Amino acid sequence: MKKINNPTKNNWSEILKRPTQTFTDIEETVKGIFKEIQQKGDVAVQKYTSLFDGSSSENCLVSEAEINEAISLVSEELKNAIEVAKTNIFKFHEAQQTQKIEIETTEGVFCWQEKRPIQKVGLYIPGGSAPLFSTVLMLAIPAKIAGCTEIILCSPPNKQGKINPAILYAANLCGVTKIFKVGGIQAIGAMTFGTATIPQVYKIFGPGNQFVTVAKQVATQYGVGIDMPAGPSELLVYADESSIPSFVASDLLSQAEHGTDSQVVLVTTSEDVVAAVEREVYLQLEQLPRKEIAIQAIEKSKLISVENEQIALDLINEYGPEHFIICSKNERFFVDGIQNAGSVFIGNFTPESAGDYASGTNHTLPTNGYAKTYSGVNLDSFMKAMTFQKITEKGIQNIGKSIELMAEAEGLQAHKNAVTLRLNLNK
pLDDT of 328 reads: 98
Q: What would the pLDDT profile of 91-105 be if each residue is shown by its tens digit?
A: 999 999 999 999 999
Query: What per-residue string of b and e applies to 255-267 under the rule 16 or more CB within 10 Å gives b?
Result: bbbbbbbbbbbbb
CA separation for the pair 183, 187 (Å, rounded): 5
pLDDT of 21 reads: 59
| Candidates 323, 363, 393, 408; catalytic one | 323
Ligand-binding annotation for 356, yes or no, is yes
Ligand-binding annotation for 261, yes or no, is no
In sequence order, what DSSP letters do the residues of 285-297 get, joined into one string?
HTT-TTHHHHHHH
Ligand-binding annotation for 357, yes or no, is no
Q: What would the pLDDT profile of 231-270 be if each residue is shown by its tens digit?
A: 778 999 999 999 999 999 999 999 999 888 889 999 999 9
Ligand-binding annotation for 102, yes or no, is no
| Candidates 322, 352, 404, 408; catalytic one | 322
Q: What would the pLDDT profile of 138-147 be if each residue is shown by its tens digit?
A: 999 999 999 9
Residue 210 pLDDT class (50, 70, 90 cuts): confident
Domains of the chain (ranges, CATH numbers): 23-227 (3.40.50.1980), 232-375 (3.40.50.1980), 392-423 (no CATH)
Ligand-binding annotation for 124, yes or no, is yes
CA separation for the pair 418, 427 (Å, rounded): 16
Q: Decide if 322 is catalytic.
A: yes
- From the CA atom positions of the chain, what is the Rg in Å? 25
23 has a pLDDT exceeding 80: no
Q: What is the pTM of this model?
A: 0.93
Q: What would the pLDDT profile of 118-144 be if each residue is shown by its tens digit?
A: 999 999 999 877 789 999 999 999 999
Is the backbone of residue 263 left (phi > 0), alpha (psi -120 to 50) or beta?
Answer: beta
H or E, element range at 379: none
